[in-house]
Amino acid sequence: MNRINSKLAENKKLLSMYFTAGYPNINDTVAIIEELEKNGVDMIEIGLPFSDPLADGPTIQASSTKALENGMTTELLFQQLANIRESVKIPLLIMGYFNPMYQYGIAAFCKKCNEIGIDGLIIPDLPLKEYQEQYKEVFELNNLKNIFLITPQTSDKRIQEIDSVSNSFIYMVSSASVTGNSGGFGTKEADYFKRISDLNLKNPQVIGFGINSKETFYNAIQYQKGAIIGSAFINFISKNKITEISDFINTIV
């Protein structure tokens, strides 16, 4: 069984963390992953930096720019992760935009992910229809889960279509804004979380965007399986040592 599905089957709410590969320093990637697992994180999304990250807020954009300046590339990320499964057991996903993967070659990219032990991909700008018609077979061949995103504006019909194609979890964007929104969750978000829960989808949902505190984390997991923290964690590691990551996790759970 894919590691993502095994984790989803556990009787617990999940904490997933996102960070940008090659940030703050070019060789921090593996150390951050190992430290996150050591401190009880359930899944990790490794951001593949891109020069035009449309869905990302200023924090992740800045980390992506810095990582590229540091020299991070797709090939270097694969080199860094070559032996990651010798030390890390939890699910690892790569989150990034389609262009760098396409430039690398989708078949080659998926094959490499499979070889090093990546469990899934999150590609915000890969349309559902294009995935089904052109790439689904190569994803499945390499045991990769493709994670689709939904937003408060996504229709129930579209959500159910995404649910029918998905086979792990659905990434639930908490609001219509970019990543890094720190305003907290109000009635509107709570109603959205409950509305999606009431659809009784076959795939569990994990909420991202705007999770930055114990309060927002627990609000997010009231109806859904888990939550993803990105910008708040990137802000933390930009100012603190990797060995202090436990301090951040302790403020969330």
The confidence score (pLDDT) of residue 176 equals: 59
Q: Is the pLDDT assigned to residue 86 strictly greater than 70?
A: yes
3-class secondary structure, 210: coil
User: pLDDT at residue 104 above 60?
Assistant: yes
Residue 72 has pLDDT above 60, yes or no: yes
Residue type present at position 146: N
What CATH superfamily classification does 13-250 receive?
Answer: Aldolase class I (3.20.20.70)
Q: Is 208's pLDDT higher than 90?
A: yes
Q: What angle do CA 213, 215, 217 make, to 5 degrees?
A: 70
Query: Which pLDDT score, from 0 to 100, does residue 58 have?
Result: 87
Mean pLDDT, residues 113-132 taken together: 97
pLDDT at 55 over 70: no
**What mean pLDDT, rounded, does the chain reach?**
94
At residue 180 the predicted structure's pLDDT band, cuts being 50, 70 and 90, is: very low
Clarify whether 56 is annotated catalytic: yes
Mean pLDDT, residues 146-156? 96
The tokens for 192 are 């959205």
Contact between 205 and 222 (Cβ < 8 Å): no
From 28, 35, 45, 119, active-site residue: 45
Instruction: Name, in order, each residue with C-beta under 8 angstroms of 228's C-beta and a sequence gap of 6 or more.
Output: 16, 17, 18, 45, 171, 206, 207, 208, 211
Q: Is the dihedral of CA 7, 8, 11, 17 positive or negative?
A: positive
Return d(Cα 192, Cα 198) in angstroms, integer.
10
Of the pLDDT bands very low, low, confident and very high (cuts 50, 70, 90), residue 54 is low
| Known catalytic membership, residue 125 | no
Query: Among the options 35, 37, 42, 56, which is catalytic?
Result: 56
